[in-house]
């Protein structure tokens, strides 16, 4: 993002930002990124926007809902459940 000495670092950091946000990096990598961020406001700004994107996606379901469940379908589902529970009982679980 920045020209000059940080340019390479920014690209490397950019590739790891999701893993950094998800706390899926090892401690050493995490420290490296934190150090870079301390000194790179554009990367922090980008990271914040990515973090906001992720939090906006959480539970971001469409407003659409399926139509009401047909009673016949419910009966079929219930019959399948009962049958599998009988199997479970037979297996002694």
Partner 1 sequence: MATDKRQEIQLARDLIEGKPEAFDRFVEVFRSKVFQYALMMCGHREDAEEVAQDTLFKVFENFDQLRDPERVRPWVFRIARNACYMKRRKSVFAPTQELSLEDFLPHSEGDGSRKLEIADWSALPDDQVLRAELRDVIHQAIQELPEMYRAAIMLRDVEELTTEETAQVLDVSQEVVKTRLHRARLAVRAKLDEYLRRRQSGVAKG
Closest approach, Cβ 23 to partner 1, in A, equals 11
Give CA–CA dist 74/79, Å, rounded.
9
Instruction: At 64, list the tokens.
Output: 């659409």
Give CA–CA dist 18/15, Å, rounded.
8
Per rule CB under 8 A, is residue 75 in the interface with partner 1? no
- Residues that bind partner 1 (rule: CB under 8 A) add up to a total of 48
What sign does the dihedral 12-18-20-25 (CA atoms) show?
negative
14-43: contacts with partner 1 (CB under 8 A): 14-15, 17-19, 22, 24, 41-42
CA-based max dimension of the chain? 70
Q: What residues line the site for partner 1 (CB under 8 A)?
A: 1-4, 11, 14-15, 17-19, 22, 24, 41-42, 45-46, 48-50, 52-54, 56-62, 64-67, 69, 73-74, 76-78, 80-81, 83-85, 87-88, 91, 93
């Amino acid at each position: 993002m920045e020209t000059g000495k940080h340019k390479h670092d920014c690209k490397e950091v950019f590739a790891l930002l999701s893993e950094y946000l998800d706390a899926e990096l090892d401690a050493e990598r995490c420290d490296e990124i934190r150090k870079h961020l301390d000194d790179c406001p554009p990367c922090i700004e980008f990271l914040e926007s990515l973090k906001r994107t992720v939090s906006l996606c959480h539970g971001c379901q469409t407003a659409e809902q399926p139509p009401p469940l047909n009673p016949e379908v419910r009966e079929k589902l219930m019959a399948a459940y009962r049958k599998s529970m009988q199997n479970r009982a037979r297996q002694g679980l």
